Amino acid sequence: MEVHHHSHAGHGKKTWKEYFWEFLMLFLAVFCGFLAEYQLEHVIENQREKTYIISYIDDLKSDKAYIANYTKVKSEKVRDFDSLIYYLNSPDPNQYGQRIYFFARQLTRRLSFFHSDGTIKQLKNSGGFRLIRNKQAIDSIMAYDKFVENILLTQDIQTSEIADVRQMTGKLLDPTILETMVHDASIQPPSGNPRLRTTNRDFILDFIYMVHQLKGSDILNTSRLKELDKKANRIIIFLEKEYNLD
């Protein structure tokens, strides 16, 4: 029987062109996948950056609201300082006993500025600053944070001043009278016109000096917070424009 051998024509080794096109197609597939992944990561980082900026703007607005209340309360308290100094410096302070008790008792009650720092802490602790590509935005955020630190430092100094005046208040005012003035969270003037524990002129002058120090700290802090409010407003306007949030 005659045996016929099948021809292998057309089934030989691949040419270099075929290998080249297969390599090129594989390369393009991997490269396109890389580009897609890179683009997705880029989009995600852009979203995270914008989320940080929106959150930071919200923190600034919270600061502005707190500052508005703080400056209002402090302007009223400065007037109380002036009144207390006036009554203490009178020839007969006991003549104004009720008012001195009321104003002096409130000296040690303080209103502190609490900075909304949730976003800035995240940016610092989680490496979020790398996502913010706008250098001017970063510079503005860091400058604001530094200014807040100076304000908080002034508050710490005032804490020490309040501790000093608290001791002197106990020597100036009768604690049994003070006990009748506290009602829940509020302080009310005492009944009648109670006398001071001492009207020694040197002591009175020392006390007036402490009141003067507290007044100065409040005025300084209020001034700095008003400047902080302006900075916050400028940053909000800038960020909303840069990130198309307005």
Tokens describing residue 162:
């309040």
Residues of the chain with pLDDT under 50: 1, 5, 7-9, 40
Residue identified by tokens 């029987």 is 1
Residues 6+ apart with CB under 8 A from 133: 49
Encode pLDDT of 80-124 as tens digits: 999 999 999 999 999 999 999 999 999 888 888 889 998 889 888
Residue 1's CB: how many other CB atoms inside 10 A?
Answer: 3
Helix (H, G, I), strand (E, B) or coil at 187: strand
CA 229 – CA 222 distance, rounded (Å): 10
List the helix and strand counts (H, then E) for the chain. Answer: 6, 2
Encode pLDDT of 163-185 as tens digits: 889 999 999 999 999 999 998 88
Give the pLDDT confidence score for residue 201 in this predicted structure.
96
Give the pLDDT confidence score for residue 184 in this predicted structure.
82
The CA–CA distances, whole Å, from 239 to 66, 81, 92, 199 equal 21, 40, 58, 57
Give the pLDDT confidence score for residue 1 in this predicted structure.
46
Indicate the domain borders of the chain: 16-242
